[in-house]
Homo-oligomer: A and B are copies of this chain.
């Protein structure tokens, strides 16, 4: 996903260096690596490095500039995070729509994702530099996300949409499993074996079956038994039979 290289995260006037570090880590987790800092209050900073964990390379290559205008000057698509609804309505996206737009355009143009101050966000003037605004849906009563949390949600959605574009998923379940799945025939043999044992131990009375076998079938039918599991279950049944015979003799 090298095209994510065209996407930069711009943090405006960040107060807490820990948030810069945590944003860098979140970006790197999701495959982004370019950060531009507009007048950070405390940078470079050991706190930022600590919170970045293994994403210090992003901090080292961070560009510090004086204005948001400078940070987005070469970008064809600018999307600004905005917590509040503004006086002048602006085209709004949710994180997923943001990701779709970014992924659509990242092959052709440079893209800026802009995040404002921890306490007051972006000014109206700064917001007007964005083609779109993105709002992260959150609880009405407590909608204030941590800065790095906001960066993470947007980067996560971008990575998600970008990989959907890249992969044509097939039945992953089967691909990932370590054993072959049992055939219908094998499972039928198991049911018959289980029924016989349930009769032997006097749990099941075929003349008054209630819905027992039906429930058993629904139970095991819900999962796809693999061959190893089937062998375990058959083995248990066989040992029950043998234990009962041993006691008889």
Q: Name the contact of A178 in the complex, choosing from B53, B88, B145 (C-beta under 8 A).
A: B88
User: CB-CB < 8 A to A216: which residues of B?
Assistant: 232
For the complex formed, measure the closest distance between the CB of A48 and the CB atoms of chain B, giving whole angstroms: 14
For the complex formed, measure the closest distance between the CB of A228 and the CB atoms of chain B, giving whole angstroms: 7
Q: Are B243 and A215 in contact (CB under 8 A)?
A: no
Choose the segment among A59-67, A72-80, A120-128, A195-203 that binds chain B (4+ C-beta atoms closer than 8 Å): A195-203
Q: Are B137 and A159 in contact (CB under 8 A)?
A: yes
Closest B residue, CB atoms, query A241: B201
Q: Are B137 and A160 in contact (CB under 8 A)?
A: yes
For the complex formed, measure the closest distance between the CB of A160 and the CB atoms of chain B, giving whole angstroms: 7
Q: Is A143 an interface residue (CB 8 A)?
A: yes
For the complex formed, measure the closest distance between the CB of A9 and the CB atoms of chain B, giving whole angstroms: 15
Q: Mark A14-37, 1 if CB is under 8 A from B, else 0.
A: 000000001001101111000000
Q: Are B232 and A215 in contact (CB under 8 A)?
A: yes
Choose the segment among A100-108, A149-157, A184-192 that binds chain B (4+ C-beta atoms closer than 8 Å): A149-157
Closest B residue, CB atoms, query A22: B146
User: CB-CB < 8 A to A144: which residues of B?
Assistant: 29, 53-54
User: CB-CB < 8 A to A53: which residues of B?
Assistant: 144, 146
**Docked complex: A74-101 residues within 8 A CB-CB of B:** 88-89, 91-92, 96
For the complex formed, measure the closest distance between the CB of A180 and the CB atoms of chain B, giving whole angstroms: 13
Given A156-B153, A223-B220, are A139 and B30 neighbors across the interface (CB < 8 Å)? yes
Q: Are A239 and B55 in contact (CB under 8 A)?
A: no
For the complex formed, measure the closest distance between the CB of A51 and the CB atoms of chain B, giving whole angstroms: 8
Q: Name the contact of A247 in the complex, choosing from B137, B153, B178, B247 (C-beta under 8 A).
A: B247
For the complex formed, measure the closest distance between the CB of A205 and the CB atoms of chain B, giving whole angstroms: 12
Q: Mark A202-221, 1 if CB is under 8 A from B, else 0.
A: 11000000001001101110
Closest B residue, CB atoms, query A28: B142
Closest 7 CB pairs of A and B: A247-B247, A222-B223, A203-B239, A201-B239, A201-B243, A29-B138, A31-B139
Which positions in A face B, CB cutoff 8 Å?
22, 25-26, 28-31, 53-55, 88-89, 91-92, 96, 136-139, 142-146, 148-149, 152-153, 156, 159-160, 163, 172-173, 176-178, 198, 200-203, 212, 215-216, 218-220, 222-225, 228-229, 232, 235-236, 239-240, 242-244, 247-248
